[in-house]
Amino acid sequence: MFEVILGLEVHVQLNTNSKLFCSCATSFGEEPNTNVCPTCLGLPGALPVLNKEAVHKAIMLGTALKSQINKKSIFNRKNYFYPDLPNGYQISQFEVPVVGLGELTIDFEDGSSKTIGVTRAHLENDAGKNIHAGDVSHVDLNRAGTPLLEIVSEPDMRSSEEAILYLKKLHSIVRYLGISDANMQEGSFRCDVNVSIRPKGDEKLYTRCEIKNMNSFKFIEKAIKYEVNRQIEAWEDGVYEDEVFQETRLYDPDKDETRSMRGKEDAADYRYFPDPDLLPLVITDEMMEKYSQIPELPDEKKERFVNDYKIKEYDASVVTASVEMANFFDEMMKEEITGKNAVTWLTVELQGRLKETSIENSPITAKKLAEVVKNIENSTISGKAAKEVLDFLIENPEEEVEAVIEKLGLKQVSDDGALLSMIDEILAANEDKVAEYKSGKEKMFAFFVGQTMKASKGTANPQKVSQLLKERLS
């Protein structure tokens, strides 16, 4: 039996306005090579100037991960050659990163949790992009110099499930902090996974393979599963030493397999040395004070929702999974509706209707959805009618809830007079059934309720109908 050892390195693109060491814009999707200047083109003599905003965002993340923040850290040159790296080195941090040891807690569905160590987070600049078109390759340097925060975990995860929970939690924290859009398709949140196995009970770490540059939770999970199986099979077939090396592998989603890309360099291969163009990064007490004031994080929000809105732990984790959803829910609760109903109408009714559309693009505001719920709670409309109201509002988002209820004629009749005259008519038309009921056939009661609901075209308040019927029949 084997144990799986996983460690993750996540590159988060910080959403600063300008690049890490120059004032070029970081906007995505521009004409190739338009967001460039002598510094990010690596022209001789151009000097880097550190963007403070990136440092502030690093402090925020460090605070969220309860990390030690280093008052003084160093920028190093990481030397390697690649066409999309005009300097011939990346500016990164090596021995002393800005963010030191911290932790992140993951929660399992059964309610248990586990704390994963976060080794460090360091600032570095991104490379450009090589674009391959048939026989020629192009280089776009718009991305070169964009600020990245690389977050490195301890090898604490023991399954692909744990790795995905860690990634989703980190993704959510980054979004709550607002330090990155963490858009995975655009590569603003991408992940390298270090995978190794060992016989259960063994303490030593065996050879790890690194699967590089993945940006989909689904593919990361599949890549880990494939790679774990490959290593286990090699071990069982007695060819572990021949087939498992320290190397960089790529995951191919079309074939669902990992393939060797290159032998993994050791740190020594990069000839790291302090960048002589940059002073040590010093974090002052004022900066610490200011940027360690971070917004409410998913775990705190969850606890507040459970306590204040009396919703279940599980429901709270569903509505706090994304910051947009959590804010939407919080907004709904301002209308003083029941937490449980708010959860259902948000996560089942509204989300079910939005399908692929994410909540931040919902045509219906939180306030309107809450008003719909409120109208059920005060018996103005039935739950069934509320669904009609919601359907109508999605098509006509500019309409007001009250007006829609009126327009669709869905208001429940709770007015005693109107209901009583309907009931009297029904009882008069069914004297035989009234007699049966009075002789003990209690099942007939449901018949009278049904007839009244029908006569009111579904708008009668059923509780009210029952109550009035009982009075009339007693």
Residues making contact with Mn ion (CB under 5 A) = 150
Contact between 9 and 194 under an 8 Å Cβ cutoff? The reply is yes
Q: How far is the CB of 275 from Zn ion (least distance, A)?
A: 16
Give the amino acid at 145: G
Q: Quick one: which H or E segment has residue 60?
A: helix 52-64
Looking at 4, 5, 10, 24, which residue binds Zn ion (CB under 5 A)? 24
Give φ, ψ of 165 to 5 degrees.
-60, -40
Q: How far is the CB of 124 from Mn ion (least distance, A)?
A: 5
58 belongs to the binding site for Zn ion (CB under 5 A): no
Instruction: Report the Cα–Cα distance between both ends of the chain, in Å, rounded.
Output: 73
Looking at 9, 25, 37, 215, which residue binds Zn ion (CB under 5 A)? 37
By beta-carbon proximity to Zn ion, the closer residue of 75 and 329 is 75
Maximum pairwise Cα distance, the chain: 104
Q: How far is the CB of 152 from Mn ion (least distance, A)?
A: 9
Residue 22 in 3-state DSSP?
A: coil
Which of Mn ion, Zn ion, none lies near 152, with the C-beta cut-off 5 to 8 A by kind?
none
**How many Å apart are CA 173 and CA 180, to the nearest integer?**
10
Q: How far is the CB of 35 from Zn ion (least distance, A)?
A: 7
By beta-carbon proximity to Zn ion, the closer residue of 39 and 317 is 39
By beta-carbon proximity to Zn ion, the closer residue of 125 and 452 is 125
| Span 354-383, contacts to Zn ion by CB under 5 A | none
Which of Mn ion, Zn ion, none lies near 37, with the C-beta cut-off 5 to 8 A by kind?
Zn ion
Q: How far is the CB of 87 from Zn ion (least distance, A)?
A: 12
Q: How far is the CB of 41 from Zn ion (least distance, A)?
A: 7
50 belongs to the binding site for Zn ion (CB under 5 A): no
**How many Å apart are CA 337 and CA 330, to the nearest integer?**
11
Residues in the chain: 474
**How many Å apart are CA 379 and CA 330, to the nearest integer?**
23
Single out the segment in contact with Zn ion by CB under 5 A; choices: 19-27, 66-74, 338-346, 404-412: 19-27
Single out the segment in contact with Zn ion by CB under 5 A; choices: 21-29, 159-167, 170-178, 184-192: 21-29
By beta-carbon proximity to Mn ion, the closer residue of 124 and 140 is 124
22 belongs to the binding site for Zn ion (CB under 5 A): yes
Residue entry with tokens 């259902």: 344
Q: How far is the CB of 11 from Mn ion (least distance, A)?
A: 6
Contact between 364 and 396 under an 8 Å Cβ cutoff? The reply is no
Which of Mn ion, Zn ion, none lies near 275, with the C-beta cut-off 5 to 8 A by kind?
none
For 439, other C-beta atoms within 10 Å of its C-beta total: 8
CA distances from 181 to 27, 102, 184 (A): 12, 22, 9
Looking at 40, 59, 220, 337, which residue binds Zn ion (CB under 5 A)? 40
Which two structure tokens, joined as six digits, stand for 14?
Answer: 């910080």
By beta-carbon proximity to Zn ion, the closer residue of 40 and 350 is 40
Single out the segment in contact with Zn ion by CB under 5 A; choices: 30-38, 260-268, 336-344, 350-358: 30-38
Q: How far is the CB of 77 from Zn ion (least distance, A)?
A: 17
Residue entry with tokens 């029952």: 466
By beta-carbon proximity to Zn ion, the closer residue of 19 and 57 is 19
CA distances from 166 to 61, 111, 116, 153, 457 (A): 15, 15, 8, 9, 52
**How many Å apart are CA 267 and CA 444, to the nearest integer?**
83
Which of Zn ion, Mn ion, none lies near 150, with the C-beta cut-off 5 to 8 A by kind?
Mn ion
In sequence order, what are the residues at sequence separation of 6 or more whose Cβ sits closer than 8 angstroms to the Cβ of residue 430?
Answer: 447, 448, 451
Could you tell me which residues are beta bridge partners of residue 7? Answer: 194
Which of Zn ion, Mn ion, none lies near 24, with the C-beta cut-off 5 to 8 A by kind?
Zn ion
What are the residues binding Zn ion (CB under 5 A)?
Answer: 22, 24, 37, 39-40
